[in-house]
Amino acid sequence: MSQKGISIELSKKEALVLFEYLRRCDDQDKYSFVDQAEERVLWTVEGALEKQLVEIFSPDYGKLLKEARGQGRDPE
C-alpha cells in the first residue's frame, strides 16, 4: 500500500477553531480513543496547525478565536 499524503484545505478561521478544540480536549483529557493510533493522528494534526497559526501566540488570540467561531456558525 502506498503512503501518499493527502491535503485538507481549511480557512484560517476554521483552522483556529479546530486547533482550539483539539487543544482544549487534550488539556482536559476528554478524548475517547479506541486505539493509540487515533491519539497519534490527532497530535500530528494539532502540531501541524500549531506550526501554521501564528495567531495562537497573539495577545489578541481570544478575540481572533471569538471572531472565527462567530463566522463558523450556521446563520440564525
Q: Would residue 1 count as lying in a domain?
A: no
Q: Would residue 18 count as lying in a domain?
A: yes
CA gap 20, 29 in Å, rounded:
14
| More confidently predicted of 14 and 76 | 14
Q: Would residue 30 count as lying in a domain?
A: yes
Q: Would residue 2 count as lying in a domain?
A: no
Range of the structural domain that residue 60 is part of: 12-72
CA gap 3, 30 in Å, rounded:
30
Q: Would residue 50 count as lying in a domain?
A: yes
Q: Over the stretch 4-21, which tens digit does the pLDDT of each residue have?
A: 888 999 999 999 999 999
User: Hey, how many other C-beta atoms are within 10 angstroms of the C-beta on 10?
Assistant: 13
Q: Would residue 48 count as lying in a domain?
A: yes
Q: Would residue 4 count as lying in a domain?
A: no
| More confidently predicted of 51 and 26 | 51
Number of domains in the chain: 1
18 contacts 49 by C-beta, under 8 angstroms: yes
